[in-house]
Structure 1
């Protein structure tokens, strides 16, 4: 199932349509509309996500050819309507890039030291003094993740975050301090700074740093520092609100319990379990605007943007962003995210001039995340970042 549309940026419109406009002025005949490239390679790649089991997907690409948007699949299972292209969705760990940006803005203002002990700013948690602010942002603190961990081949359970336990608790409200104290009750996974392990608690702590140093609730400071200045109308820190605002697609969770496969509509869920780590709601357009501004140097001074982009040698993770090859020698920065039922993609070239952002929803089919999903993602990235015609 396919549905795509294209629009031109103002710059692209001026370049292509000026001769036609001049003819119209001279002859009195209305100038024909100028069609943007169809981008069939993108349409095919977008459809590929639905083919492997996602309920729906909406994608936005911004580059020198203008803006291209496309969607595939359905807004809600059992209904024919396609995903709205202006939909709001749960963006999961893309939240971390917003939080890292805010912390680095505080560093730029001299309010916090990047390599200072995080305990100096959050003494109430008695963090190990070896854990620095940088280590929280780069996942090198060794702090256990409150949502559960997998380290050195060992699965370490946390608060209910998958399966029937999560379904039964998906409307429960957690307090950020509760999440942190749960995680800190566990031993460190490694000596701070000696290894890398993705931990949601790192970013819950980082968001609490933002609150402590600003003296404002996280949602308010997000508006003051990022969503307000950038005009992001669809980006929200929902707190404990379970309703997904604005136009949106339904997300579904398919799981097994006691040998029975179940599919549950999880559009409504309380995101407080992921405070600072994966709770934000946004749109593909807002993700583009934010990430293009960030990579284009509009949110951070050059020195701190460079710090953000320094990848850890183990996994290529900087401070709230991954650094990787799009598949053809083109370097891209990204941070994808997922919560149960929802996912989001956020990619950019180093100068912010070419971005790819997307929202996805889970459906009633199992998605092969080991083989099929990486192939579908690679095809989409290559269609944009490895298309020589767009270079």
Structure 2
């Protein structure tokens, strides 16, 4: 029995020694094969490091779909950005509005060369304005010269104004009236200036042509056919439905965190910036748009025919911007912002690759550039 115990102890010592030797020999080998860095995650991390509270990105290419997130959905917590989180897409809404208008053009209900006066008589007049000389094309292309409404909206311009008027409802007529307070930036077709008022007017023309609201037409023509489950047109409802990150706006103070501005009546952005969506739905929408699922070739050609947009440093079509790709060529897309929620969306010309990223705060000095870089690099990236 004693001899047997000695043999067992010897075996245990030998076995332990072998285990130590195996571990020692396998360590350097494992270290010599570091895991390959995830390019999307690295770019998302860079956006977070620029000062954003939370970041979420999604890309889609033939046979692949990737997501990455960093930061938090709520300041001061460890709550991660939701996987299918919804957010206010801001000016990316213009791509939806322009698509509906161009569908109506394709159906023969109106022309891009129709005047604003034809559809909305007497609305754009006075103080140097003449709706008879402004066309539907001018509105969608931002070449109308009509001033932007948003500088007149207190809830969007200061923390004090936000707290006082975040639940206020605006009518489209009221918004246009605010823009008429200041004379035109230039005569129609003689310049380029980004103006949300153009798309408020476009939403009103949609109602006049169809007899139905802009929101109803967007739902019937885009949201329902594409099964965009996370996308909605909230009207005057001030809440973001479903899973979502909080948004934080600094109101130009230079503070990356700012105040919680998640609750907002977005009626001041009808047609121009009020849609709520998700990265999943935006990749689906922009891919379908450039693949020709929403517009006939003639209308898609009109949409993607661009003019210089010096304010943005890009080219602009009808509800779409054209931007250079770092690997050569160009892509289409649209940025968006509404009180802390910022997004960049991009799609290749053939609609095969899309990239969408959003943050839930104004972030730091380099946040917007980092977001734009992510979209361009991801559209260029070769996936294995």
Q: Please indicate the TM-score interval, normalised by the length of the shorter structure.
A: 0.7 to 0.9
Q: Which of 42, 61, 64 is the aligned partner of 1:63? A: 61
Counterpart Cα distance in 1 of 2:69 and 2:109: 43
Counterpart Cα distance in 1 of 2:346 and 2:256: 34
Shift, 1:373, TM fit: 2.6
TM-score (norm 2): 0.84
In structure 2, the partner of 1:384 is 378
Instruction: Give the match's secondary structure for 2:220.
Output: helix
Instruction: Give the match's secondary structure for 2:308.
Output: coil
CA-to-partner distance for each residue in 1:83-104, whole Å, 9 max, x for gaps? 0110110000000000000000
Q: Which of 293, 300, 315 is the aligned partner of 2:288? A: 293
Contact between 1:142 and 1:196, CA under 8 Å: does it hold in 2? yes
Counterpart Cα distance in 2 of 1:180 and 1:328: 41
TM-score (norm 1): 0.82
Contact between 2:289 and 2:351, CA under 8 Å: does it hold in 1? yes
Q: Which of 1 and 2 has greater Rg? A: 2
In structure 1, the partner of 2:344 is 345
Contact between 1:312 and 1:318, CA under 8 Å: does it hold in 2? yes
Shift, 1:375, TM fit: 4.1
Aligned pairs for 1:240-255 (under 5 A) are 240-255=236-251
Shift, 1:308, TM fit: 0.6
What is the aligned length?
339
Contact between 1:65 and 1:390, CA under 8 Å: does it hold in 2? no
In structure 1, the partner of 2:326 is 327
In structure 1, the partner of 2:9 is none
Contact between 1:283 and 1:359, CA under 8 Å: does it hold in 2? no
In structure 1, the partner of 2:102 is 104
Counterpart Cα distance in 1 of 2:98 and 2:252: 35
Q: Would the alpha carbon gap of residues 67 and 162 (structure 1) be closer, same or farther in structure 2, given more than 3 Å must change?
A: same
Counterpart Cα distance in 2 of 1:187 and 1:295: 36
Shift, 1:159, TM fit: 2.8
In structure 2, the partner of 1:10 is none
Counterpart Cα distance in 2 of 1:338 and 1:263: 15
Q: Would the alpha carbon gap of residues 108 and 185 (structure 1) be closer, same or farther in structure 2, given more than 3 Å must change?
A: same
Contact between 2:145 and 2:186, CA under 8 Å: does it hold in 1? yes
Stretch moving more, 90-99 or 158-167: 158-167
Counterpart Cα distance in 2 of 1:66 and 1:53: 29
In structure 2, the partner of 1:200 is 196
In structure 1, the partner of 2:307 is 312
Q: Which of 88, 99, 124 is the aligned partner of 2:86? A: 88
Shift, 1:63, TM fit: 0.8
Q: Would the alpha carbon gap of residues 231 and 168 (structure 1) be closer, same or farther in structure 2, given more than 3 Å must change?
A: same
Counterpart Cα distance in 2 of 1:356 and 1:39: 19
Counterpart Cα distance in 2 of 1:265 and 1:375: 23
CA-to-partner distance for each residue in 1:21-79, whole Å, 9 max, x for gaps? xxxxxxxxxxxxxxxx9871111001111111111111110013500011111011121
Counterpart Cα distance in 2 of 1:307 and 1:233: 28
1:367 aligns with 2:364: yes
Instruction: Give the match's secondary structure for 1:293.
Output: helix
